């Protein structure tokens, strides 16, 4: 199959949606936790988290267009400037996936999906207790994207993770806690460590065979 731009535009809507959402491959599965000023908690599945830099430590998130009403996650982040990013493991992918349901504002995904919330110190936003890697974020900037989506830039305020999942170099082994990945909108994958290679220096490039 070969598709040009005009071919893609002519595809049936749901087919095109699934194709383009999965074309980049497996993405990280994360639950974003927020709390409103009225202490109403919200939890939503995201596959758009991207590393922006390590010094300062920043992560980006892509939010869908807010044209049909401001969503709870975005509203809470803008109000309180705090949110959490929680890695999804294989043992709760189904619960995590169903947080994408459009619940009423007064209904919390934590409660409906039976995902216990937790708090770390005085950090305002709730974490997912079962998540092995928890990241506390503060909002820095929002950027409007050409397609109507919003790019959220946040700063890492805290990290909590198991000692056994990180090595002496600071590298995290996602396999140790059965981290999950997402392809498209609703297909989940297990992640397995295959190999680790050194930092690439030009004079150390091997002689590869074709």
pTM: 0.93
Tokens encoding 17:
């949606």
User: 148: which DSSP letter?
Assistant: S
Short-list 150, 192, 134, CA closest to 61: 150
pLDDT digits (tens, 9 = 90+) for 147-185: 999 999 999 999 999 999 999 999 999 999 999 999 988
128 class by beta-carbon count within 10 Å (0-12 exposed, 13-18 middle, 19+ buried) = buried
Contact 199, 193 (CB under 8 A): no
Which spans in the chain are helix H? 5-10, 13-22, 72-80, 93-97, 109-112
Distance CA 126, CA 82 (A): 10
Q: CA-to-CA distance for 76 and 170, rounded, in angstroms?
A: 32
| Residue 196 in this model has a pLDDT that exceeds 90 | no
Q: What is the CA radius of gyration of the chain?
A: 19
Q: Please give the residue that has the higher pLDDT: either 105 or 181.
A: 181
Tell me what pLDDT residue 69 has.
67
Q: Which CATH class is domain 25-191?
A: mainly beta
Residue 151, strand partner residues: 62, 143
């Amino acid at each position: 199959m070969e598709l040009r731009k005009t071919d893609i535009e002519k595809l049936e809507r749901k087919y095109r949606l699934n194709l383009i959402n999965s074309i980049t491959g497996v993405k990280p599965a994360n639950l974003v936790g927020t709390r409103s000023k009225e202490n109403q908690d919200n939890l939503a599945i995201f596959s758009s988290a991207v590393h922006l830099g390590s010094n300062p430590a920043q992560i980006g998130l892509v939010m869908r267009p807010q044209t049909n009403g401001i969503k709870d996650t975005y509203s809470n982040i803008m109000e309180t400037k705090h949110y959490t990013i929680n890695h999804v493991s294989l043992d709760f992918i189904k619960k995590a996936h169903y947080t994408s349901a459009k619940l009423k504002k007064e209904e919390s995904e934590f409660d409906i999906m039976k995902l216990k919330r937790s708090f770390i110190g005085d950090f305002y936003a709730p974490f997912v207790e079962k998540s092995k890697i928890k990241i506390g974020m503060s909002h820095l900037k929002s950027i409007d994207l050409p397609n109507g989506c919003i790019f959220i830039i946040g700063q890492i305020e805290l990290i909590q993770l198991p000692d056994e999942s990180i090595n002496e170099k600071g590298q995290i082994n996602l396999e140790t806690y059965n981290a999950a990945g997402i392809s498209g909108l609703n297909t989940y994958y297990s992640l397995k460590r295959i190999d680790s290679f050194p930092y690439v220096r030009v004079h150390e490039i091997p002689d590869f065979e074709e």
